Structure 1
Amino acid sequence: MMRATAKQLRLLTVLPAVLVTGLAILGPALAPHAAETPVGIPFGDPDATAWLGTDRLGRDVLSQLLYGGWGLLVLAAVIAVAVTAASCVLGALAALRPGIGTLIERATDFVMLLPAVLGILLVLTSWPDAGAYGLLVVALLFGTPYCARVFAAAAAGIAASGYVEVAQASGETLAHLIFREVIPNLREVILAQLGLRFVAAVYLVSTASFLQLPTTLGASNWAVMVRENASGMLLNPWAVLAPSLAIAIVAVSVNLAVTAFGRGRTSRRKVSVDAAEPGPKPRVGEVES
C-alpha cells in the first residue's frame, strides 16, 4: 500500500511537466489564432476571442503561449543530452585516469568563478550568428566540468571494483573500460543528471531568450514573451504571468520528479540490502512477531 502510494506521488510530480510539454508539442495545432496575427487592442483584457487577453501588439497571448514552448524545450533537451553524455564520458575517464580527474577539478573551480550569463554574453556577442549553436557551446563549456566532476565521484568506486581491475589486467582498451564496464553501472546517476541538466538548460535558454541573443528560437518563445510584455503587466498580467508560469512549472516539476525517483530508487535499494542481511533467529518455542 505504501509502495503504491509512493509510486503515485512520484507520478504526480512529473505530471505537470508532461502536460506543459505536451501542450508545447501540440501547441501549434491547438492554437486558436496564428502566432503573429493581431486579434485586438494591445494588452486587451481576456475575452471570448483571446482567453488570456492580448500582448503589446494585440496578438492572442494563448496562441503565443502554445506556439512559444516548442523551440525552447527542444533546445533545452538537446543541451541536457549533450552535456550529460559528454560529462558521463569525461567522468568515467577521470575515474580510470586520476590525472584527468585533477584537470577536471581545476576546470570546475575556474567555471564556478565565472557567471553563466557572462559566458552567454561573451560567446554570443562575439559570434552573432551562432544562435542555438552558440547556446550549446556555452552549455558545454560551463556545464560539463561541474557535471563531469559528479560523474567522476560516482565512477570512482566502480573503477576500483574487481571486475574493472580484471578487465584492465586482461588488456582491454580504455574505450572498452569506459563504455562497457563503467558507464553501464552509472544508469541512476545518468538519469538524475539528465533531469538536472534539463532544468539548468531551461534556465539558460530562457535567460538567453530574455536577452534576445539567439535569433533561431523565433519571436514567440516564452522568455521573449516575458521580456516584451513586461511594460504592460498592469494592463494584462497574463501576458507575462502565463509564459513565466509555463517555464517555472516545467523546471520545478522536472526537478521534483528527479528528486522523487532518485529517492524511490534509494529506498528500494535499502530494502533489498536489509532483506539480504541475516537477522536474529527466534529461539525454539518463541513465536516470531
Structure 2
Amino acid sequence: MNRRTLTGVALLAVPLLLAVAGPTLVGEPAARARPFDATGPLGTDFVGRAVTDQLLLGGRSVVAVAAAATALAYLLGVPIGLLAALTRRRRLDELLMRPLDLLLAVPSLLLLILLAAAAPGGPGTLVVIVAVVALPEIARITRAAALPLAHGTAMEAMRLYRETWWRRAVGHVARGSRRILLADAGVRFIGALYLVATASFLGIGVAPDAADWAVMVDRNRSGILLQPWAVVVPAALLVALSVGVNLVTDQLLAGRRTEATR
C-alpha cells in the first residue's frame, strides 16, 4: 500500500468504526449538565448531553442512510441506463430518459424539500428521497458509458455469433462500464452524504435533538465559541468520511488500470 492508499483507509476507517461500533461503547446515559459546558472529555452539547456519547451514537444514522440511498439509486439507475443504451428503439430511450431529465431540472435541495413534505417522516423515507434525487444522474452516466459499447463493432460481432442478450448486456456492456460507474460511486456517495446532512439540518427524517453527526453540527453551532468540539469533531468525521471514500475509490481504479495494462 502506498501513502495515498493508507491515508484513504485511515480516513475512512475512523468514521466507519465509530458508526458501526460506537453505539455498543455507550454506557448508561449520564445526567445532563449545563449546555456547552467543559465537563467530560469533549464537553456537553446544546442540551447538556455528553458530546462523546453523541459522537458514538451519531454516525450510524448518517452512514447507513447515505450508503442505503446510494445502493438503491444504483440498483434502479444502472438498469435504466443500460436498457436505454442497449435499445434500438428511440421511443423507448426517450420514454426512459425524458422523465429523469425533468427531475434533473429541479434543484436537488428543492426536490428534497418537496418530496419530504409529501412523504411520511423517518429514515426509510429519507433513503428513498435521496435515492430519487441521485437516480437521474446515475442513469445518465450509465447510459453515456454504455452507448459506445452497446453499438460498437464488438456488439455487432456478438449479435452475428448469436450470443444471448444477457451475455451481450451484462457480460460485455455492463462489465465494460464498471470502471466509470465505480469512479462515479465515490462521488455519488459523497453527494448522498451531503443530502442526508442537509436533510438533518432541515429536520427532515430525523428529530431535531437526535444523536446524529449532521444534527450535531447544526444544533451546536450557536455555541461554537463556548464549546467548539461539539461542532468541530462531527464535522471533521463527515469530512474524513467523504475524503476517505474518494481516496480509496481512486486507488481501486488505479490498481485496476495497472492490471489492465500488464
Instruction: Give TM class, smaller chain.
Output: 0.7 to 0.9
Q: Is the Cα–Cα contact under 8 Å of residues 38 and 57 in structure 1 kept in the other structure? A: no
Q: How do residues 1-289 of structure 1 correspond to structure 2 at under 5 angstroms? A: 7-31=2-26, 34=29, 37-45=30-38, 47=39, 50-97=40-87, 99=90, 100-102=92-94, 106-107=98-99, 109-127=101-119, 129-162=120-153, 164-168=155-159, 170=162, 172-173=164-165, 177-215=168-206, 219-269=210-260, 271-272=261-262
The residue aligned with 1:279 is: none
Kindly tell me: are residues 143 and 217 of structure 1, through their superposed partners in 2, closer, same or farther at Cα, counting changes over 3 Å? Answer: farther
Kindly tell me: are residues 244 and 158 of structure 1, through their superposed partners in 2, closer, same or farther at Cα, counting changes over 3 Å? Answer: same
RMSD value, Cα? 2.6
Matched to 2:45, the amino acid is: D
Deviations 1:206-227 (A, max 9, x none): 1101111103798101111112
**Once the 2 structures are TM-superposed, how far is the Cα of residue 118 of structure 1 from its aligned partner?**
0.7
Alignment partners' CA distance in 2, 1:188 and 1:12 = 22
Per the alignment, in what secondary structure is the counterpart of residue 233 of structure 2? helix
Alignment partners' CA distance in 2, 1:42 and 1:203 = 27
Alignment partners' CA distance in 1, 2:8 and 2:114 = 37
Alignment partners' CA distance in 2, 1:33 and 1:225 = 20
Q: Is the Cα–Cα contact under 8 Å of residues 33 and 48 in structure 2 kept in the other structure? A: yes
Structure (1 or 2) with the larger CA radius of gyration? 1
Alignment partners' CA distance in 1, 2:68 and 2:190 = 12
Matched to 1:66, the amino acid is: L
Alignment partners' CA distance in 2, 1:104 and 1:149 = 10
Alignment partners' CA distance in 1, 2:209 and 2:79 = 33
Identity score, percent: 32
Higher relative contact order (CA 8 A, sep 6+): 2
Alignment partners' CA distance in 2, 1:223 and 1:241 = 11
Deviations 1:102-136 (A, max 9, x none): 45654554334322111111111122x24223323
Q: Is the Cα–Cα contact under 8 Å of residues 39 and 59 in structure 1 kept in the other structure? A: yes
Alignment partners' CA distance in 2, 1:181 and 1:148 = 18
Q: Is the Cα–Cα contact under 8 Å of residues 104 and 148 in structure 1 kept in the other structure? A: no
Q: Is the Cα–Cα contact under 8 Å of residues 95 and 159 in structure 1 kept in the other structure? A: yes
Kindly tell me: are residues 95 and 214 of structure 1, through their superposed partners in 2, closer, same or farther at Cα, counting changes over 3 Å? Answer: same
Show structure 1 runs of 5+ residues with no match. Answer: 273-289
Using the size of structure 2 for normalisation, the TM-score is: 0.86
**Once the 2 structures are TM-superposed, how far is the Cα of residue 142 of structure 1 from its aligned partner?**
2.2
Using the size of structure 1 for normalisation, the TM-score is: 0.79
Matched to 1:151, the amino acid is: T
Matched to 1:215, the amino acid is: V
Alignment partners' CA distance in 2, 1:248 and 1:12 = 13
Deviations 1:50-88 (A, max 9, x none): 211111121110110010001110111111111122222
Matched to 1:236, the amino acid is: Q
Q: Is the Cα–Cα contact under 8 Å of residues 8 and 243 in structure 2 kept in the other structure? A: no
**Once the 2 structures are TM-superposed, how far is the Cα of residue 90 of structure 1 from its aligned partner?**
1.5
Per the alignment, in what secondary structure is the counterpart of residue 69 of structure 1? helix
Show structure 2 runs of 5+ residues with no match. Answer: none
Deviations 1:195-242 (A, max 9, x none): 222111111111101111103798101111112212111110111111
